[in-house]
Amino acid sequence: MDIIENNEVVKLIKSYPNPITEKLLFLRKLIIDSAFELENSGTLEETFKWGEPSYLSPLGSTIRMDWKKSKPDQYAMYFNCKSKLVDTFKEIYAEKFTFEGNRAIVFQENDDIPSEELKHCILLSLIYHQVKNKPLLGV
């Protein structure tokens, strides 16, 4: 997969408080590294949606991530709430993640992120249109 990176996204992430910056840069790297694992999947575009760092894939569903001043010790990775993604993640990883409704995986500033499990969620999102009709997204 080709990656179109956006320096403005990195600039926004680096404007956040330092512990959150490090966490969001880690999530960004995990998304980009996951995309590189997909062959013949087009292009991953790093951009903004609703003012938040976002990642678009032609075969997948948009992934967003952000930190909010109103919840300074928390940050999240967002998925399309009309998809089956978060409901599937809840089925598979209920004990690994904290969820916000059917739209987000939420992290506290001091959480250890289960990288392999989150990477699996990212990969499912990046190929969502190929697996959306399979039970548990083909897992």
Residue 97: its pLDDT value, please? 97
Q: How many whole angstroms separate alpha carbon 56 and alpha carbon 3?
A: 10
Kindly report the pTM of this predicted structure. Answer: 0.94
Q: What is the pLDDT of residues 72-122, one digit of tens each?
A: 999 999 999 999 999 999 999 999 999 999 999 999 999 999 999 999 999
| Number of domains the chain is built from | 1
Phi/psi at 80 (5° precision): -60, 120
Report whether pLDDT(1) > 80.
Answer: no
How is residue 17 written in tokens?
Answer: 């408080």
Assigned token pair, 106: 């939420």
Give me the CATH number covering residue 94.
3.90.1150.200
Structure-model confidence comparison of residues 76 and 39, the more confident one: 76
- 136 falls in which pLDDT band (50, 70, 90)? confident
> What is the residue range of 86's domain?
2-138
